[in-house]
């Protein structure tokens, strides 16, 4: 899947989960930049991303992710 | 008594599991994973072992973050220390991710209880060395071992980390002995967070969480 489409979809999902309004999904965006991105909402976000893109992350992939740039790359790799 | 400090190795895992469980009880008989997820102490030990095996850096249940104090060659005390946010995600997110992965449906079923816990969550200070799972075996208590191990952890980070800003410890307010011990080591109470829902006391030994900090300048 095209990375710009992934970013657009993520922006909608992030708004739904973190209630953060329109948010630009940059490669350097992290949990520290989003006010309601805590440990519980993080898990909701992961679950929503898996459902939306029809993918499943491995634990190592999830815990090794440093920013949304890596999340976008992972989704792109999994969706082909 | 001959005292020495070292990094943890695989042979320390059972001691560390015991330490995590005792530290989580916060000086009470209440183990949060029993009250939250209806896990037995044995199942909790297995969950901790599973997460330690994954070696997930940046959160407390990671073998390579543990230090061990030995007294006359015996494991006597342990603690976990890591720099918050060094792996991108915060330690809370990493640990929650690992727990949800292993507990699966059990995690989802505890959603309401987890929301109560989230009410008293204190975001850890990014870039600060976090000290957690501080435990002294009962045979070695009352000799200041935990304090010595904390001093060792702090001095190692001060020596090796040019960006060292300070250390943070988070604990439940009921643990006054631990608060006194950390104050003696130079830590100051920085902030606290309380869950006002009385049901929190079914889950934890106290409804207030405290953050204590040792900044570089007063270290």
> Which of these CATH numbers, 2.40.50.140, 3.30.70.20, 1.10.1200.10, 3.40.640.10, describes A3-79?
1.10.1200.10
Q: Give B206's contacts (C-beta < 8 A, 6+ positions apart).
A: B26, B172, B173, B174, B175
Rg (CA), chain B: 17
Which pLDDT score, from 0 to 100, does residue A31 have? 85
Confirm or reject contact between A63 and chain B (CB < 8 A): yes
Structural domain boundaries in chain A: 3-79
Q: Is B55 left (phi over 0), alpha (psi -120 to 50) or beta?
A: left
Q: Which residue segment(s) compose the domain that B43 sits in?
A: 3-218
Q: How many distinct structural domains can be found in chain B? A: 1
Residue A78 has pLDDT above 70, yes or no: yes
B12: which 2 tokens? 């320390």
> Which of A40, A46, A59 faces B98 most closely, judged by CB atoms?
A59
pLDDT confidence band for B216 (50 / 70 / 90): confident
Q: Give A61's contacts (C-beta < 8 A, 6+ positions apart).
A: A74
Residue B42 has pLDDT above 90, yes or no: yes
pLDDT tens by residue, A38-61:
888 898 899 999 999 999 999 989
Confirm or reject contact between A43 and chain B (CB < 8 A): yes
Q: What is the CATH number of the domain that holds B49?
A: 3.40.630.30
CB contact under 8 A, B89 and A31: yes
Between chain A and chain B, the number of residue pairs with CB atoms below 8 A apart is 58
Residue B87 has pLDDT above 80, yes or no: no
Whose CA is closest to B15, among B101, B91, B80, B94? B80
> Which of B92, B97, B118 faces A63 most closely, judged by CB atoms?
B97
Which residues in chain A are contacts of B97 at CB distance < 8 A? 42-43, 46, 59, 62-63
Residue B160 has pLDDT above 90, yes or no: no
Can you give the pTM of this predicted structure? 0.88
pLDDT confidence band for B88 (50 / 70 / 90): confident
Q: Looking at this predicted complex, what is its ipTM?
A: 0.73
Residue B137 has pLDDT above 90, yes or no: yes
């Amino acid at each position: 899947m095209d990375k710009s489409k992934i970013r657009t979809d993520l922006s909608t999902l992030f708004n739904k989960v973190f209630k953060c309004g329109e948010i630009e999904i940059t490669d350097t965006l992290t949990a520290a930049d989003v006010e309601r991105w805590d440990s519980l909402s993080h898990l909701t976000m992961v679950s929503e991303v898996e459902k939306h893109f029809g993918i499943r992350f491995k634990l190592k992939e999830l815990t090794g992710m440093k920013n949304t740039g890596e999340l976008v790359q992972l989704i792109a790799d999994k969706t082909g | 008594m001959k005292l020495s400090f070292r990094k943890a190795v695989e042979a320390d895992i059972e001691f560390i599991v015991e330490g995590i469980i005792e530290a989580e009880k916060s000086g009470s008989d209440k183990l949060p994973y029993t009250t939250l997820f209806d896990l037995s102490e044995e199942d909790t030990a297995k969950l901790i072992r599973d997460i330690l095996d994954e070696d997930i850096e940046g959160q407390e249940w990671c073998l390579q973050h543990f230090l061990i104090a030995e007294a006359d060659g015996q494991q006597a005390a342990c603690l976990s220390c890591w720099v918050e946010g060094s792996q991108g995600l915060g330690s809370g997110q990493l640990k929650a991710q690992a727990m949800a992965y292993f507990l699966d449906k059990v995690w989802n079923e505890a959603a309401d209880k987890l929301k109560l816990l989230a009410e008293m969550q204190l975001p850890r200070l990014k870039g600060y060395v976090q000290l957690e799972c501080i435990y002294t075996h009962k045979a070695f208590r009352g000799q200041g071992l935990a304090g010595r191990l904390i001093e060792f952890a702090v001095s190692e980070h001060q020596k090796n980390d040019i960006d060292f800003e300070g250390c943070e410890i988070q604990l439940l307010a009921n643990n006054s002995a631990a608060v006194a011990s950390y104050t003696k080591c130079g830590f100051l109470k920085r902030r606290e967070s309380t869950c006002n829902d009385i049901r929190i006391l079914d889950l934890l030994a106290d409804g207030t969480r405290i953050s204590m900090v040792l900044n570089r300048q007063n270290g």
